[in-house]
A and B are shown apart, each in its own frame.
Chain A
Amino acid sequence: MSGMIILTRTYKKGYVMTHILYIEDEREIGSLVSQQLVDRGYEVTWLQSGEGAESYVDLVDLVILDVMLPGLDGFSIGKRLKRASDSLPILMLSARTAMEDKIEGLSFADDYITKPFHFDELVARIEVLLRRFQKQEQLLLIQHLHINTKDISITNTITNEEIQLTGKQFLLFQCFIRHLNQILSKNQLYEQVWSETYIEGDKTLMVHIRYLREKIEVDPSNPTIIETIRGIGYRVKQ
């Protein structure tokens, strides 16, 4: 396959690397970003055009796609890939910043980053997509909690016991883990957990957050895992 470069790094036996398909025609950018992704522990297949991209659908965990490519453009390739596998996250990485391009890109892709980008932001967004699509079993350590992101099982490392959550608490915590380090407004949390419109002044969310804190925080009166962002909402930071 022409223009295909696979970059990997040797890891200990049994470690399953996240495989990223990166489609970028600009050689210098492609080379630099591929290498930086490998340095971050991903296996990267870099293609300089969309030709043959569909054959990787079952082999990769995520696709990073440029828009302006020789031959078929990134939008057409992305739509084909999404048709082939709906569960494959696609992240558009393009120098096209017009609103129309973003809207077209986000009509099928799961995220859109414009160039020039900060590499840490790219990695953060890759991680969010992998968590959202549950593409990897990842163990998170947040203070004294061990969290399996695939099934949201929580273990208290102090007592070495698994923390059991009720239905709403589980949904709330899952929401926080899927949007790790992001501030979620009360409206967003309420609508995702209760599937209803949040009415200003409703205390239901606050009560459930309090119950959740009582289960996961060391000192629920002084919470450090679920932060209250005054006037905006809540955040779980790693």
Chain B
Amino acid sequence: MRKLFGSLQAKYMLLIITALAIVQFAYLLSAMLMSGIQNQFETNDSAAVYYDEVEHSWHNDITRLTEINSKAMNQMFEKWSTTYPESSMFWVDEQGNLASSWQVSWDIPSYWTSSYTVSFMKERYGSDPFTIVALVGDQDASGFAVLEIPRSVFNPPIMKIYDQYGQWLIIGVVLIIMLFIVISYLFFRSIRKRLLHLQMAMNNRNSDGLPIPITISRTDEIGHLENAFNHMVTELNESKLREQEEERIRQELIANLSHDLRTPLTKIQSNAYSLTQLSLPVESEQAVHSLQRSVEQIDTLIENLMSYTLLMSHKYRLEMKDVMMIRFLREHLATWYATFERADFEIDVSLDGMPEFVWKADPIWLGRVMDNLFQNVLRHASSGSYIGLKVEFKHGYEVIIIVDHGGGMNSPSNESGAGIGLSIVDMMINGMNLSWDMQSNEQGLTVEICKPHR
């Protein structure tokens, strides 16, 4: 039973049934009430009257009068007055004189002419009060007697009840409707309140950005919804944990793979270094240097391949923050300066005097982009022996410009590859909501990295 009434649907049905029962009860009550009142009316009004019966009865009583005088007439009027207290009566004799009257409220003439009589009858026909004119006696020579009864006396009892108790009935009906509205409002307000609470609880997030389980308030439909939500939260948490575990395994695999590939390279590098410490013939020395360069190339390729895989699967960690670009470029180029110096590059830096500007970017990604671009200059544009780095503000954009004097993109290079380095640059620049452009000709390559000026 408790389970049955734990349901919102059951509660709502109970509410409707109760409302219907109240209406039915009200009908029954009013019917009983009216029946009682009607009985009372009927008891009080034992002469349930109808127009024909009254007319017939009046004619009978008047024509059957044996003794025709004022006294007898007044006795008859009194008798009728007992039955119909609201009635009035009068008698006009054969000469047209008003012989007797009973409870007449209007200004009745003392002498009735034929024309006045006709006019009176014409006026009273079908009007209120209900008027019966009967000839007195069986000889029709004793004048006429008139009975006047207000038509309201002939109204049915229900109309009388309505007239007397109508306002209480209306008040009762309004009260029942109001009661139903109030109970319905309270019922739906309680549902709404719980739904809003549920909505707020669903919007709460933990540190991982996942929803937090909510306390189940009751065992009704909303309680089932809360339960289902909690179940979903549990599944989400499990899914998140599974994802984190898969991510950990994947990273571990990449790290192990990287380790396993680099370990033999380290052995080759270390052995090659040991060889360079010996006095080798020139050809052997060149071969060792070539070996060392190849190791460095493979190392870069492995690194690029790992990064490319991570970027393609959107797993390369990106942390956007404010980066002061002039400072960043200075410090980053400083780490490459010695390398360019060793390669006899002219290093042309035009950053002095430029106002500092801030980009929203990941400094590690930016560093990786610059590393790839500088590495490309070293590898593919060494013939130009020139690298330029400057910053410009043009067409509403802040632009970092890297210039080399190599042979451009179409010039042959001993170390050309599949372009994975530039693909990484492209993905990282786009990933940081920046744009870039390359202009290549025989004089060299110009790379521009842009961001709209804030």
A176 to chain B, nearest CB (A): 13
Contact of A110 with B by CB under 8 A = no
Contact of A204 with B by CB under 8 A = no
CA distance A33 to B254 in the complex (A): 26
Q: Cβ of B337 and Cβ of A229 under 8 Å apart?
A: yes
Which residues of B are found within 8 Å of A233, using beta-carbon distances?
330, 334
Given contact pairs A26-B263, A231-B330, A97 touches B258 in the complex (Cβ within 8 A): yes
Question: Taking CB as reference atom, which chain A residue is nearest B352?
Answer: A231
CA distance A4 to B269 in the complex (A): 24
Question: Taking CB as reference atom, which chain B residue is nearest A30?
Answer: B270
Cross-interface CB contact of A98 among B258, B266, B337, cutoff 8 Å: B258
Contact of A1 with B by CB under 8 A = no
Stretch among A56-64, A114-122, A137-145, A157-165 lining the B interface: A114-122
Question: Taking CB as reference atom, which chain A residue is nearest B330?
Answer: A185
Which residues of A are found within 8 Å of B299, using beta-carbon distances?
116
Q: Cβ of B337 and Cβ of A29 under 8 Å apart?
A: no
Q: Cβ of A36 and Cβ of B273 under 8 Å apart?
A: yes
Q: Most chain-B Cβ atoms within 10 A of its Cβ — which of A184, A185, A229? A: A185
Q: Cβ of A39 and Cβ of B277 under 8 Å apart?
A: yes
Interface size in chain B (residues, C-beta < 8 A): 47
Q: Cβ of A117 and Cβ of B317 under 8 Å apart?
A: no
Given contact pairs A97-B258, A232-B351, A233-B330, A181 touches B338 in the complex (Cβ within 8 A): yes
Q: Cβ of A100 and Cβ of B259 under 8 Å apart?
A: no
Pair count A-B, CB < 8 A: 113
Q: Is the interface of B mostly helix, strand, loop or mixed?
A: helix
Given contact pairs A95-B263, A231-B350, A101 touches B269 in the complex (Cβ within 8 A): no
CA distance A95 to B298 in the complex (A): 13
Contact of A182 with B by CB under 8 A = yes
Question: Taking CB as reference atom, which chain B residue is nearest A68?
Answer: B259
Q: Most chain-B Cβ atoms within 10 A of its Cβ — which of A32, A116, A182, A185? A: A116
Given contact pairs A98-B306, A181-B338, A229-B337, A117 touches B266 in the complex (Cβ within 8 A): yes
Q: Cβ of A32 and Cβ of B306 under 8 Å apart?
A: no
Cross-interface CB contact of B268 among A101, A116, A181, cutoff 8 Å: A116
CA distance A165 to B350 in the complex (A): 32
Question: Taking CB as reference atom, which chain A residue is nearest B368?
Answer: A99
CA distance A110 to B309 in the complex (A): 29
Contact of B303 with A by CB under 8 A = yes
Given contact pairs A185-B331, A188-B331, A201-B353, A118 touches B273 in the complex (Cβ within 8 A): yes
CA distance A94 to B261 in the complex (A): 12
Q: Cβ of B349 and Cβ of A115 under 8 Å apart?
A: no
Which residues of B are found within 8 Å of A96, using beta-carbon distances?
255, 258-259
Which residues of A are found within 8 Å of B263, using beta-carbon distances?
26, 29, 95, 115
CA distance A95 to B352 in the complex (A): 38
Which residues of B are found within 8 Å of A232, using beta-carbon distances?
330, 333-334, 337, 349, 351
Given contact pairs A98-B255, A101-B255, A232-B330, A183 touches B270 in the complex (Cβ within 8 A): no
In chain A between 201 and 217, which residues have their CB closer than 8 angstroms to a CB of chain B?
201
Q: Most chain-B Cβ atoms within 10 A of its Cβ — which of A101, A181, A232, A233? A: A232
Which residues of B are found within 8 Å of A182, using beta-carbon distances?
334
CA distance A101 to B327 in the complex (A): 26
CA distance A100 to B265 in the complex (A): 22
Which residues of B are found within 8 Å of A26, using beta-carbon distances?
263, 266-267
Given contact pairs A96-B255, A232-B349, A185 touches B334 in the complex (Cβ within 8 A): yes
Q: Cβ of B277 and Cβ of A116 under 8 Å apart?
A: no
Question: Taking CB as reference atom, which chain A residue is nearest B274?
Answer: A32
B360 to chain A, nearest CB (A): 19
Cross-interface CB contact of B270 among A33, A68, A95, A185, cutoff 8 Å: A33
A83 to chain B, nearest CB (A): 25
Contact of A12 with B by CB under 8 A = no
Which residues of A are found within 8 Å of B262, using beta-carbon distances?
95, 97, 114-116
Question: Taking CB as reference atom, which chain A residue is nearest B356?
Answer: A200
Q: Mark B256-284, 1 if CB is under 8 A from A, else 0.
A: 10111111011111110110010000000
CA distance A232 to B270 in the complex (A): 34
Given contact pairs A118-B269, A187-B331, A231-B350, A98 touches B254 in the complex (Cβ within 8 A): yes
Sample of 18 more A-B contacts, CB < 8 Å, known A29-B263, A99-B317, A115-B269: A35-B274, A36-B274, A39-B277, A115-B265, A116-B268, A116-B270, A117-B266, A117-B269, A118-B273, A181-B338, A183-B334, A185-B330, A187-B327, A230-B349, A231-B350, A231-B352, A232-B334, A233-B334
B residues near A (Cβ < 8 Å) are 251, 254-256, 258-263, 265-271, 273-274, 277, 292, 295-296, 299, 303, 306, 316-317, 326-327, 330-331, 333-334, 337-338, 348-356, 364, 389
Which 3 A-B pairs have CB atoms at the shortest separation, nearest pair first? A231-B349, A95-B262, A183-B334
A residues near B (Cβ < 8 Å) are 26, 28-29, 32-33, 35-36, 39, 68, 94-101, 114-119, 181-188, 200-201, 229-233, 235
Provide 17 A-B residue pairs closer than 8 Å at the C-beta atoms, listed in order of the A residue.
A29-B263, A32-B271, A36-B273, A68-B259, A98-B258, A99-B316, A116-B268, A116-B296, A119-B270, A186-B330, A200-B326, A229-B334, A229-B349, A230-B352, A231-B330, A231-B348, A233-B330
